Amino acid sequence: MTRVLSGIQPSGSLHLGNYFGMMKKMIEYQENAELFCFIANYHAMTSLQDGKALARGTLEAAANFLALGLDPEKSIFWVQSDVIEVQELTWVLSNFTPMGLLERCHSYKDKVAKGIAANHGLFAYPVLMSADILMFHSEVVPVGKDQKQHVEVTRDIAIKFNNEYGEVFTLPAPQIDDDVATVPGLDGQKMSKSYGNTIDLFLEEKALRKQIMRIVTDSTPVEAPKDPDKCNVFNIYRLFLDKEQVEELRKRYLAGGTGYGEVKQELFETVRDFFAPFTERRKELLADTDGLKKTLAMGAEKARYLANKTMRKVRKKVGIAY
């Protein structure tokens, strides 16, 4: 089975773009791949310097994934910092990382341009990510476009190390899904926290309805035929429908007589009902933090066992085991 690994930073609330663009796909991997999934809380430190918020966010991120269907029995699911060996490997790999490789990273340059402090953590971020990936001999790393370069950096570092010490690390390949079109936001642009155009997961009914009613539509009157493909409501609604249902909705648009308000109300009910069981489950998970921590500890134990195996080999190769 292919070994798939990805990490998610605990960065606050989730929206439909995160769910359909990333989380749903990761959860599907547990059925037909060896899935490694973790909460990248060390990485989050580069943008979040509020200890309480990070600790809370880490538990919430874990609860989100579990509530949406990640099965800790079918995957290895843990919090990055519970496998401390990853820091040791980061240091080892740092010695195989040319400065130029990091200096070329777009993500670092973009973040600095946005005003984030250019400290060593932010600069070394891709080395830590390489350690995450190489530690577990990951073959496939599903990521968004912005993270592709980091997986390429990981390959370069692994090649350098392997050239010196033999085939210790597996070379990973980034996997970027082009088939799932970008989930559009309320205004038709890519749904993103930074654009303020999201429909969020786990909202109370009232707040959810409010967001959906804010979807931008044109002023075609109720009776007139409408172009479904140009409609933001349609393009979001279709994520929840099967082929036949999409065709049916398309026909209603083309026939006229269906107002945007009516479709928004239907979309609201659909989103609400779709996520209701997940929202309930999430509440239960967060109400029992001891249980949640136990689940994470179980995942950490499995991950640590494998990390130790890798590190014993690495320490021997580099001469740290003397």
For the annotated catalytic residues, the residue numbers are 111, 190, 193
Task: Identify which of 213, 206, 158, 220 has the alpha carbon closest to the alpha carbon of residue 186.
Answer: 213
Residues 150-161 as b/e (b if ≥16 CB within 10 A, e otherwise) read bbbbbbbbbebb
Applying CB under 6 A, what is the total number of residues that bind ligand TRP? 12
Using CB under 6 A as the binding rule, whether residue 9 contacts ligand TRP is answered as yes
Using CB under 6 A as the binding rule, whether residue 141 contacts ligand TRP is answered as yes
Cα–Cα distance measured from residue 94 to residue 184, given in angstroms and rounded to the nearest whole number: 39
Residue with tokens 């606050």: 12
Cα–Cα distance measured from residue 285 to residue 293, given in angstroms and rounded to the nearest whole number: 10
Task: Identify which of 89, 81, 87, 84 has the alpha carbon closest to the alpha carbon of residue 320.
Answer: 89
Using CB under 6 A as the binding rule, whether residue 11 contacts ligand ADP is answered as yes
| Among ligand TRP, ligand ADP, none, partner that 21 touches (CB below 5 to 8 angstroms by kind) | ligand ADP
Q: Which are the contacts of 304, defined by CB distance < 8 A and separation ≥ 6? A: 82, 83, 85
- The interface region with ligand TRP, picked from 5-13, 116-124, 216-224, 266-274 by CB under 6 A, is 5-13
Q: Which amino acid is at 62?
A: A
Q: Which amino acid is at 122?
A: L
**Do β-strands 3-8 and 34-39 pair in parallel, antiparallel, or remain unpaired?**
parallel
Q: How many CB atoms lie within 10 A of CB 58?
A: 20
Residue with tokens 């799932």: 180
From residue 124 to residue 163, what is the string marking binding to ligand ADP with x (rule CB under 6 A)?
Answer: --------------------x-------------------
- Residue 68 tokens read as 């949406």
**Measured between alpha carbons, how far apart are the two ends of the chain, in Å?**
35
| Minimum CB–partner distance for residue 80 and ligand TRP (Å) | 7
5 strand-pairing partners = 36
Among 86, 92, 105, 133, which residue interacts with ligand TRP (rule: CB under 6 A)?
Answer: 133
77 by DSSP, 3-state: which? strand
Residue nearest to ligand ADP (CB): 21
Using CB under 6 A as the binding rule, whether residue 7 contacts ligand TRP is answered as yes
Contact 265, 272 (CB under 8 A): no
Among 4, 6, 67, 89, which residue interacts with ligand TRP (rule: CB under 6 A)?
Answer: 6
- Residue 140 tokens read as 């496939």
Among 155, 193, 304, 313, which residue interacts with ligand ADP (rule: CB under 6 A)?
Answer: 193
Q: Which is nearer to ligand ADP, 60 or 85 (CB)?
A: 60
- The interface region with ligand ADP, picked from 18-26, 29-37, 87-95, 206-214 by CB under 6 A, is 18-26
From residue 22 to residue 61, what is the string marking binding to ligand TRP with x (rule CB under 6 A)?
Answer: ------------------x--x------------------
Q: Which is nearer to ligand TRP, 141 or 296 (CB)?
A: 141
8 strand-pairing partners = 39
- The interface region with ligand TRP, picked from 64-72, 140-148, 163-171, 188-196 by CB under 6 A, is 140-148
Q: Which is nearer to ligand TRP, 86 or 231 (CB)?
A: 86
130 strand-pairing partners = none
Under the rule (CB under 6 A), what is the footprint of ligand ADP? Answer: 11, 17-18, 21-22, 144, 182-183, 190-194
Under the rule (CB under 6 A), what is the footprint of ligand TRP? Answer: 5-7, 9, 40, 43, 129, 132-133, 141, 143, 147
